[in-house]
Amino acid sequence: MIPVVRSSQPAVLRKNSAKWLTKLREAQTQYQVLNSAPDAKIAQVKEAKRRVDNAQNKYRHSAVKDALDNMFHGKCAYCESKITIVTYGAIEHFFPKSVHIELTFEWRNLLFSCDLCNDVNHKGTNFPLDGNGNPLLIDPTDGITDPRTHLEFVWDGIAGVASIFGRDQRGRAVETIFDLNGINRRKELVNHRSRYIKRLFALLRLAQQGDNEAIALLREACDPSAEYSAFALACIRPYLS
76 makes contact with Zn ion (CB under 5 A): yes
* Interface map 26-65 toward Zn ion (x if CB under 5 A): ----------------------------------------
13 makes contact with Zn ion (CB under 5 A): no
Query: Shortest gap between Cβ of 115 and Zn ion (angstroms)?
Result: 8
CB nearer to Zn ion: give 25 or 182: 182
Write the DSSP string, 79-121.
Answer: T--B-TTT---EEEESS-TTT-GGGTT-GGGEEEE-HHHHSTT
Round to whole Å and give the CA distance between 35 and 106: 28
136 makes contact with Zn ion (CB under 5 A): no
Q: Please identify, among the stretches 44-52, 71-79, 128-136, 152-160, the one whose residues bind Zn ion according to the rule CB under 5 A.
A: 71-79
Round to whole Å and give the CA distance between 30 and 34: 6
2 makes contact with Zn ion (CB under 5 A): no
CB nearer to Zn ion: give 122 or 170: 122
Round to whole Å and give the CA distance between 195 and 190: 8
Q: Which residues neighbour 220 within 8 Å (Cβ) at sequence distance 6 or greater?
A: 226
Round to whole Å and give the CA distance between 105 and 21: 7
137 makes contact with Zn ion (CB under 5 A): no
Q: Which residues neighbour 46 within 8 Å (Cβ) at sequence distance 6 or greater?
A: none
Q: Which amino acid is at 46?
A: K
CB nearer to Zn ion: give 27 or 180: 180
Query: How many residues at the interface with Zn ion, by CB under 5 A?
Result: 5
Query: Shortest gap between Cβ of 178 and Zn ion (angstroms)?
Result: 6
Q: Which residues form the interface with Zn ion (CB under 5 A)?
A: 76, 78-79, 114, 117
